[in-house]
Chain A
Amino acid sequence: GAGVSQTPSNKVTEKGKYVELRCDPISGHTALYWYRQSLGQGPEFLIYFQGTGAADDSGLPNDRFFAVRPEGSVSTLKIQRTERGDSAVYLCASSLYRGGTGELFFGEGSRLTVL
């Protein structure tokens, strides 16, 4: 596809369950970001990948959150033992250049609801 693709677009799960959210960036984009956005708030940084490695994971709220990008393209955000407070829209963005110095392209987001 031409843009950043995120799946699923909506996910409803029960407290305590495991969730995976997928981001397929624009082909060739080496920088990939995960954010989450709660209602009425601006996006909150979670993790930044440059290639396959997590260059900055300082935004992950706790060890229940983990993200991978094994081949430097698709990334998966994994949330263990989900809690109601994890409910948010999880956004992925990619960029051709590292360090936020390139134009950002966002996916439509994955809306996670934890019951």
Chain B
Amino acid sequence: KNEVEQSPQNLTAQEGEFITINCSYSVGISALHWLQQHPGGGIVSLFMLSSGKKKHGRLIATINIQEKHSSLHITASHPRDSAVYICAVSGTASKLTFGTGTRLQVTL
């Protein structure tokens, strides 16, 4: 079992839909990162969180430390949100462990 599991692996949504991507982890962490990777592009950090909830524009990230679970929500989705979304956790050993990503496609 991977230390970081994401679901779904693939997601297709219509423009305007509310989207949720989930991340579960099995190790103790100091922080959890949500990252975005566009096709052929680099990786951009969206959020880093260790508790509670953060919001940036149409993106919201939440984390439940007790349940070892985090969610990334996208409100009013748009085709430009199409990308791979990656959850990564920073454990006590400092290195980051990545999930395999969720490929999101938002259509008109």
Contact = CB atoms under 8 A, between A and B. Distances in A.
Interface of A: 33, 35, 41-45, 48, 50, 55-56, 58-59, 91, 93, 98-109
Interface of B: 30-31, 33, 35, 41-45, 48, 50, 86, 88-91, 93-101
B interface secondary structure, majority: strand
Nearest to A56: B95
Contacts of A102: 48
B48 A103 contact: yes
A101 B96 contact: no
A48 B94 contact: yes
A16 B88 CA distance: 33
Contact of A100 (B30, B43, B44, B86): B30
